[in-house]
Amino acid sequence: MDLKEGWEEKALIGVGIIVLIIIVYAYFVPFSGTPDNITQTNQQTPAQVVPVPYVIPAANNSTSNNSTNNGNSTLTVQQAQNIAHNAYPNYSIGTPSFQNNININGTTYSAWTVPITLNGTSKTVYIDNTGRIIQTS
C-alpha cells in the first residue's frame, strides 16, 4: 500500500478540525435554556437559640420561708427550680442549694446550684440571683 505525498499534512489538518469542533462545542453550547436535570441541594440550617423568658416576681423577704435571706439572693428555691425546668424541660430537677461564692471563669457569683438528671446523666445548672443561667456543667 503506497500512500501519496502529503497525507500526513491532510491527517494533521483533519485532527485539528476535530479538536476545534470539540472545543467550540464545549464552550459554545448550541442549546439555549435551562437543563432539565437541575438538582437542588438541601442545606440544613442550624437550630435557632431561643432565650427562655422568665419574669422574677416581686418577693416579700420578710415572709419568705424557703429562700436564703442573706441580702444577696432574691430567688426562692421554687423559682430556681422553675428556671432550671424552663431551660431543661426533659430533665428531672433536684433540690437547689445556694452558694455564696462560686468562681466561674474568673468571676465570683452568688448563685443557686441546681442538680438536673436525664437518663442517668447528671448536670449542674448555676443560676445567679437575677434569674440568669450562668453555666451548665
Looking up cell 448563685 gives 111
CA distances from 103 to 87, 92, 107, 135 (A): 22, 25, 5, 11
Q: What is the pLDDT along the chain (137 residues), one digit of tens a residue?
A: 566 788 889 999 999 999 999 888 877 766 655 556 666 667 677 767 677 666 665 554 444 444 444 445 577 888 888 888 888 888 888 888 877 777 777 777 778 888 888 888 888 888 887 777 877 77
pTM value surpassing 0.85: no
SS3 131: coil
Name the DSSP letter for residue 39.
Answer: -
**Which element (helix H / strand E) includes 124?**
strand 121-128
